[in-house]
Structure 1
Amino acid sequence: MAKRQVRRRARKILGEDPVALVWCEIHRPIPVPPKDVHRAAGKGRLKSRHHWLVYVGAVVFCFVVVPVILIDLLGRKLDQLLSPGRRSRAQRTAPSPTAPDAQGSGRGRAPEGERGQDPANGVFDGDWNLTAGQLLLRWYGHSPSPKRLVMLTRDRICVAASPRRRLSPTKADDFRAVTEFALDQARIEGEAGQPRGYATFRLCFADGSWLEMGRLGEPEDADHFLRTVSG
């Protein structure tokens, strides 16, 4: 359950106690928008900023792990060149080539992952010019963290974010409102009883656009939130 400081901060932002609240994220990568649309929105970030340890790990991989792999491959290659007898025996026992019909039978088939691929990645409705698309374009402009706190009152929906990259959803108390919608502008669609860890909900707007959220934080908050919006 969200700690007292989170609820105190939410009350201060809203001017009243929230009916329900939950920390959540866009649970899939944001699709790449058209260049002109991205430019018109200020060319904001479409990915969260990684912790500095991620960059340290990448440097270590490039300058330590990759050279070790290359040296190992080079050693194997030299071993093969210095052992012609062993290579010739391997060639004699090698299996015969596959028949042309068998080789060509899979040609022209699209990879399984490419069939019916959704260009919007299931994140939103796909129209960058509508409310959901515009909100996505500015998502990381409000905070480098992917986490957002969605708060419900009797007559509005408020989305808040913390300026920090890393935060604890139970203790964060520095979040601020980044956008707010009256109930005639937006509504939330979700089902109660979804499996924990896989639960999602949609923020739907009056212009027909929608944005799907997942990775709901704090099971008690998530369960109460979904029961509230599905009632």
Structure 2
Amino acid sequence: MQQSSTLETSSSTALVVVGHHRPDSLSAHIAHRAAARLTAANYTVDFLDLHAENFDPRMTVADQPGWTNRDKRYSPDAESHMQRVLAADVIVVVFPVYWQSVPAILKGWIDRVWNYGFAYGRSQPRLAGKRILWLGLAGATANDEILPSMQQLLEAQLSEGLAYYSGFADSRVGLLPDAEEQPQLVGADGSLTFGEAITGDARDAHYQAFEAKAEAFVDDLVAAALVRV
């Protein structure tokens, strides 16, 4: 369901996170489209490009979970990102699907920032009630047999294994297949077959539909956030 740009959201805040190493990537483009969509719905958008901000995904001693201290102060870097997550009413995370999972920089962001005492480990979760959308761009085609299991794996990791334990009111995975200009199909023996690359008007139409699908996922998240129980 698409929403008009006049939706009122009471000056809510959205955090848009992109986990791709190239600023000219399709992932980055979709992240900016998502940010524009949220801005049109009257959200104040905090745009977090993990690579552009030189986020270090490697776990450090300072950010190792303090199992005996839920109020442990983690590194300044992790704490600053915690505040950005805490300030957001809705979060949209955009990433390329690598091996049916998220890129290393995004996994490291989760490990260091969504830490014990902050994202989980409290009787009253600090992130309770928030909503999150995971937009995963996949090279697999829409008719690839791997797509249903890819969706299930991402939902298990991100919605059930992360957002659920963090008290989110809503977590959804928006899988976006057909991200590649040249269709790819992997056989049961691991062989890779390439189809004919799309060009010209067909390419333009393909990516317009791709963008529309991504924006529809964002619109649905906005609509859900407007529902008052």
User: Which protein has the larger Cα radius of gyration, Structure 1 or Structure 2?
Assistant: 1
Q: Same fold (TM over 0.5)?
A: no
Per chain length, whose mean CA-contact separation is higher, i.e. which structure has more relative contact order (CA < 8 Å, sep 6+)? 1
Under TM normalisation by the shorter chain, which class is it? under 0.3
